[in-house]
Every structure is written in C-alpha cells, then in structure tokens.
Amino acid sequence: MTDRKRRALVTFGLATAMALPMAPARALSGTGGLDGELDLNLGLGGKFLDITVTLGQRRRLVLRLAQEYLAARDQGWKDPQGPGDGMAAIKKEGAKVATQPEAFAAGPAVFAAEGADALHATEVDTGFVDDATVEFEGNTATVTLTSGTFLSWNDASLGTSSLSDTYVVTLERENRTWTVTKAAYVPTPSTAAPKAAATSTAASETADGVSTMAAHSYDRDAAVAYALRWSEVYKSSRGNHPVSFARNPEYEDLGTANCANFVSQSLLAGGWTRRYGVDRDDPDNWDDNLNGPYTFSKTWTRANWLFDLTVKYRGWERNFWPPADPTTGPGDPDFAIWELEPGDLIFTDWDTEVPDGVQDHVMIVTGTYTNPSDEFTEPTYSQNSPNRHNLPLSVGMKMAYYRRGGNEGDPNHNENQPIFVPVRLKDSFDE
C-alpha cells in the first residue's frame, strides 16, 4: 500500500469500502411503508400537501414523509454526489427539506466509497420497523422510527449487506406544507458499567469436578457462523411489518444494549467456556446463567467488563485506532486493527467530549475483504444494537464518526473521533 493511499485512509478514518456474503433471499423480498409499498416513483402529485381531516390521517402523512426522506437518503449509498433525485422527488410532491436534513441526507454518500473504481452500492432497498412514534406539539411533528437498509455492491462476489438505525425526524407545518427541519440518529447507548467490588470468585471446578484449567480451543469458524446468523436484518413482504432483526430466542434480547450479549453468545458458540460463579459483579465470572435463566454476569453483557476479562484470560489488546502516527502500515503495531482475523473483537470508546478509556461497545470480526482497486485488505464485522451484518470496518468507522457529530452537516458537529480498540483472541486458552 502506498503512502498516498495510507494517508487517504487515515484522513477519512477508513480504508476502501467493502461488504459481505449473500443474505437470505427473504431479507430482500417485499416492500415497506405505511400503506404497503414505499416508492419514490412519482405520479400522485401533491401527496405531501396537508389536506388531512383527522389526526390519524395527519399522523400517516407525516410518517410517510419521514419514511420517504430516509429512503431517499439511503440512495446516497449508490452515488457519492448524494440523494439529489430523491430529495427533489419529495419536494415535487409538496414538501420541503431544510438545510440541516439536506446535509444529513448526504451521510450514506460519505459512507460509500468514492470514485468509479471504488466499491459502491448498485442496489439499495429500505424498509421500516412497524413501531414508529409520531408526536405533535402545535405545528411541529416529531417522528422516531427504525429503518433497515439492504445493499448490493458493485463487486458481485460480496453479495448484499444489511444494517439498521433509529432516527428522529422533526417536521414543521406551515399552511398546507410540511418541512423536514431536522434529522438525527438516536444515540447508541453505552453498555459500559462501573466496576464494583466482587463478593465471590469464579469457581475453579465445574459441577462434575472437572478442572476448568484444561486447555481449550477457540473455533473461529463457529463463532463467525453464529455471529453472521444472528446479526441479520430481515425484510418481510407481509403487510405493515417489513423489517425485523435476528435474535436467538434462547437468550434474552437486551434491546438497544445487546452488543456484548451478542458477542458473548458468539464466543460461547466458538468454544469459550463459561467461568462459573454466582456474583454478577465478579470480574472473573463469565456466564449467562448465574442463578437461573437470563441472569447474566456483567462480563457477559457489559462491553468494558467483557474487555477486561478477555484481555486478562483470552486475548491481547492491540494498539488503538486512529494511531498517533498517520503513516502506519502493514506489520506496524499501530496497523493491528486492519490485520485482525475472523473471530477477533473490536471495542469502541466514545463519549460526548473526549473518549475516557472505558469501552462502550463491542463487535466481532466476521470476515475480510481485499479491494481489487488498491489491493487493501480489511476486516468485515457484525454487531447488534444497532444491527450491522458483515459491514466493512472502514465503512463502520465512517458511520461511527458521523454519528458522533463528525460531519459539518450535523448541528452537533465536533472533532470527536471514537477510539477503536482491537483485541486479538487466543486460539487456545487454559481456563
């Protein structure tokens, strides 16, 4: 990789974009939307001009406008110039889009690769979870909704990617015209938790007396297969329930705080052994069944607790990204994150002002991809809360930076760069 390409990588906080293995056919079938198909093709002139009679009709109108705004935004995955046609279509139908949401809509164009030779989406499909809320206060409407996005890439060998995000869209009504005045991601909650004094220690033997000190192996393929299965976003063709998320029913779904729970499940599937005990605050326990079903140790469900246990017993922390030296290259300790293997972990540290050294989130590496345009190889990853199904790490870094206010179009713009902490896992461990 040339110095020029490395500098470009660091400047954007990423490498060239890539994608993932083919998602199930059912993930792309059907259409979303309040009344059936959500379609940016026009022909129903003035459908966003407000001539509603009832509150229910107004709610449906506002929700449809927010959905079409986000669907238009997703079209930017295909075009680095952004979703101009989609925004124009909304305006033609009688609505307006203000400056901030116009800039926010450029996000996917930022996430996608630039240039004709780089990886970019060729097809984009958008659906919505059927749990949106619409709140009115005078002539202001606030819509909170979750979308699922399905991407096909120009490299056919990569198949499709899926991801989800939750947004708040604010709209203002003047006479018969609604204006989208603001759009933002709903903040992803941290799964970090303060450390507490332990009242017990992990047991050294299992119930049958077999020592947990015997050597164990980590099956990376099994961990990756589990993570890929339970990180997908599905889109249904049935009625008003277009988008759902893969969750293993054998485990409790922790909703917007499911990242460490999901990764722990993947590690268990890969051969990690539980570290038994009864105290959820014991940093040496790692168990989802301390005192009965769904009683988790904090090391199972909290990113910073899982990080400490992993580094102590089953892996090595590597130099974080972005590094102090922006010219780092292959083989350099600062380049470690780009050399992770499937089954390894990546933790992230973010805060409102400056990252504080406490891990807020965790994801698992589920593949690698070499872009033929520059022969750069990077990890792909999967996660829960929100779902990411085998996205390229470079794209994930862009999205994380953008979510934290790293884009000029965001009114909360700042220069805060989330810290990514790679952890290389041992292929065998003693306990």
CATH number of the structural domain spanning residue 166: 3.10.450.50
In a domain, residue 150? The reply is yes
In a domain, residue 5? The reply is no
C-alpha–C-alpha distance, residues 404 and 165, integer Å: 14
Cβ atoms 77, 151 nearer than 8 A: yes
Low-confidence stretches of the chain (pLDDT beneath 70):
1-45, 113-117, 196-215, 238-241, 292-294, 352-354, 405-416
What does the pLDDT read at residue 370?
85
Cβ atoms 277, 203 nearer than 8 A: yes
In a domain, residue 130? The reply is yes
What does the pLDDT read at residue 371?
82
Please provide the size of the chain in residues.
Answer: 431
In a domain, residue 135? The reply is yes
In a domain, residue 286? The reply is no
Burial class (CB in 10 A: 0-12, 13-18, 19+), 415: exposed
What does the pLDDT read at residue 239?
59
Q: What is the number of structural domains in the chain? A: 1
Specify the DSSP element, H or E, that contains 392: strand 388-392
Distance of CA 276 to the CA centre of its chain: 31
In a domain, residue 268? The reply is no
C-alpha–C-alpha distance, residues 258 and 182, integer Å: 28
Cβ atoms 234, 246 nearer than 8 A: yes
Cβ atoms 25, 397 nearer than 8 A: no
Cβ atoms 108, 73 nearer than 8 A: yes
What does the pLDDT read at residue 241?
60
What does the pLDDT read at residue 353?
65
What does the pLDDT read at residue 52?
92
Burial class (CB in 10 A: 0-12, 13-18, 19+), 417: middle
Distance of CA 225 to the CA centre of its chain: 18
Cβ atoms 243, 233 nearer than 8 A: yes
Specify the residue for token string 């470079």: 394
Specify the residue for token string 């889109």: 235
Strands 315-317 and 345-349: unpaired
Q: How many CA atoms lie within 13 A of 388 on its CB side?
A: 25
Burial class (CB in 10 A: 0-12, 13-18, 19+), 51: exposed
Cβ atoms 69, 22 nearer than 8 A: no
Distance of CA 216 to the CA centre of its chain: 31
In a domain, residue 357? The reply is no
What does the pLDDT read at residue 224?
97
What does the pLDDT read at residue 8?
33
Q: Which residues touch 161 (CB under 8 Å, ≥6 apart)? A: 19, 20, 23, 150, 151, 153, 389, 390, 391
In a domain, residue 273? The reply is no
Q: pTM for this one? A: 0.83
The DSSP secondary structure of 222-239, one letter per residue, reads HHHHHHHHTT-EEE--ST
Q: Look up the domain containing 78 and give its range.
A: 10-185
C-alpha–C-alpha distance, residues 322 and 417, integer Å: 8
Tell me the three state secondary structure of residue 430: coil
Specify the DSSP element, H or E, that contains 245: strand 243-245
Specify the DSSP element, H or E, that contains 57: helix 55-74
What does the pLDDT read at residue 312?
94
pLDDT tens sequence across 300-324: 999 999 999 999 999 999 999 998 8
C-alpha–C-alpha distance, residues 18 and 393, integer Å: 8
